[in-house]
Each structure stands twice: as structure tokens, then as C-alpha cells.
Amino acid sequence: MAKKSMIEREKRRQKLVDAYAETRSEFRKISVDIRRSPEERFAARQELAKLPRNSAKVRLRNRCAVTGRPRGYMRFFGLSRITFRDLALKGELPGIRKGSL
């Protein structure tokens, strides 16, 4: 089980990402648009830099929905490899069965 503080930190980051997503995408579009003047592009980059760092989607870390484990994450299921195996062997994941059978 991951530390509760780390799980809560990820939740706060997710809220920030959701809150600033539109603003960030607007500034990003302006900053990479080569038809704009260099001054406009530079101003957009400065505005991007003023936004909170944790509002960037890159700073999010995928975590297991059950345990919060950050490593061995299976994106399709939203679970870590350990939790996935436990649930699969118990038969709680529909359509999943052991490969050697």
C-alpha cells in the first residue's frame, strides 16, 4: 500500500491539471504557432511559466486504483500487476484467465 500522502498529492495534482487544462492548451497553441509574431509567442511562453508546475499533465503519475502502487501499472485495467494477479486468480476480473490453462 502506498503512503496516503502520496495518493493525496496525486489527487491534488489531478485537480490542478483539470482546472488549468484549457488555459494551458490555449497558451500552448499560441506559443507553437509559427504564424504569430515572436513577441506574441514569447509572451505566451511567459504566461505558461506563470502557471503552477503541478498543473502540467506530465507531472501526473499513474497509480493502482486499489493500492496506490506507482510501479507495474497496467493502464487498461488501472491496476498494478500484483493487484491484477490477485483479482484475476480470484475470478473477479471478467474474461481474464490464466494463460497456462
Whether residues 55 and 82 share a domain: the answer is no
Regarding whether 66 and 49 lie in a shared domain, the answer is: no
Q: Based on the domain organization, do 11 and 33 belong to the same domain?
A: yes
Task: State in Å, rounded, how far the first CA of the chain is from the last one.
Answer: 30
* CATH number of the domain encompassing residue 81: 4.10.830.10
pLDDT in tens, 6-25: 999 999 999 999 999 999 99
Domain count, the chain: 2
**Does 16 lie in the same domain as 53?**
yes
Name the strand (E) or helix (H) holding 22: helix 4-32
Q: What are the pLDDT digits (tens) for 22-77?
A: 999 999 999 999 999 999 999 999 999 999 999 999 999 999 999 999 999 999 99
CA-to-CA distance for 100 and 77, rounded, in angstroms?
Answer: 21
Q: pTM above 0.85?
A: no
